[in-house]
């Protein structure tokens, strides 16, 4: 949901993540437009001496009618259960499909990979969006996203080159 800042715990996690990047050669820090992601990206940008570039392709999934709902309220809805079991085909009421979110996020990753070929870039997004990107490069079906975890402020690494990609790390802590 828009307008929600990082919690105190999130601020600490973002600072730790930023410290991990201190001294690393990074060409760009790209972020989802959502405030929490931009705040996390800002900690990384500060540590690397860069500025944050907002990348719309990294935006959170549009949850449509579910936006702002609590998990407790969603648990009562059959559509929520369907969404969590069948991410490859289920849709958020009035929102975006996981496949559409994956397509836009993967396109953003590929654009950045071309723009900064051979360089390290940092991309800050949201758990489900990042899991969908990793699933794409790992060849995992969207219905199987719950087979791996991504913790807040964790790092995953994808190396891109001409026509191929290799996932080198998933869910590493700073």
Question: Any idea where the domains of the chain sit in the sequence?
Answer: 8-63+102-172
User: If we measure between CA atoms, which residue out of 145, 131, 127 comes closest to residue 84?
Assistant: 145
CATH number of 8-63+102-172: 3.40.50.1240
Mean pLDDT of 98-117: 97
**Looking at residue 78, what is its pLDDT?**
93
Q: What phi and psi values does residue 165 have, to the nearest 5 degrees?
A: -145, 145
β-bridge partners, 29: 52, 122
Mean pLDDT (whole number) for 56-83: 94
37 vs 58: CA distance, rounded Å: 9
Is the pLDDT confidence value at 42 over 80? Answer: yes
What gap in Å lies between CA 40 and CA 92, rounded to an integer?
Answer: 26
Q: What percent of the chain has pLDDT over 70?
A: 99
Residue range 116-132: average pLDDT?
A: 97
Residue 115 clears pLDDT 90, i.e. is over it: yes
Task: Say yes or no to pLDDT of 2 above 90.
Answer: no
| Residue 28 pLDDT level (bands cut at 50, 70, 90) | very high
Whole-number pLDDT of residue 119: 96
Does residue 174 surpass a pLDDT of 90?
no
Q: Could you tell me the CA-to-CA distances from 154 to 9, 14, 85, 115 in Å, in that order? A: 14, 9, 24, 24
pLDDT of residue 25: 96
Q: What is the maximum span of the chain, computed from C-alpha positions, in angstroms?
A: 48
Q: Give the whole-angstrom CA distance, residue 140 versus residue 127.
A: 16
CA angle 133, 135, 141 (to 5 degrees): 130
pTM score: 0.94
């Amino acid at each position: 949901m828009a307008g929600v800042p990082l919690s105190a715990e999130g601020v600490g996690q973002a600072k730790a993540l930023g410290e991990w990047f201190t001294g690393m050669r990074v060409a760009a820090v790209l972020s989802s437009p959502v405030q929490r992601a931009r705040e996390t990206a800002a900690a990384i940008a500060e540590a690397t001496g860069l500025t944050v570039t907002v990348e719309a392709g990294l935006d959170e999934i549009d949850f449509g009618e579910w936006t702002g709902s609590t998990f407790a309220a969603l648990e009562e809805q059959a559509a929520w259960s369907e969404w969590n079991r069948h991410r490859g085909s289920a849709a958020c009421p009035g929102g975006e499909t996981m496949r559409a979110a994956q397509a836009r996020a993967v396109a953003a990753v590929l654009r950045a990979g071309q723009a900064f070929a051979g360089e390290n870039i940092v991309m800050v997004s949201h758990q489900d969006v990042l899991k969908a990107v990793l699933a794409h490069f790992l060849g995992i079906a969207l219905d199987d996203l719950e087979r791996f975890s991504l913790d807040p402020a964790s790092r995953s690494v994808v190396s891109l080159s001409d026509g191929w990609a290799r996932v080198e790390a998933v869910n590493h802590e700073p």
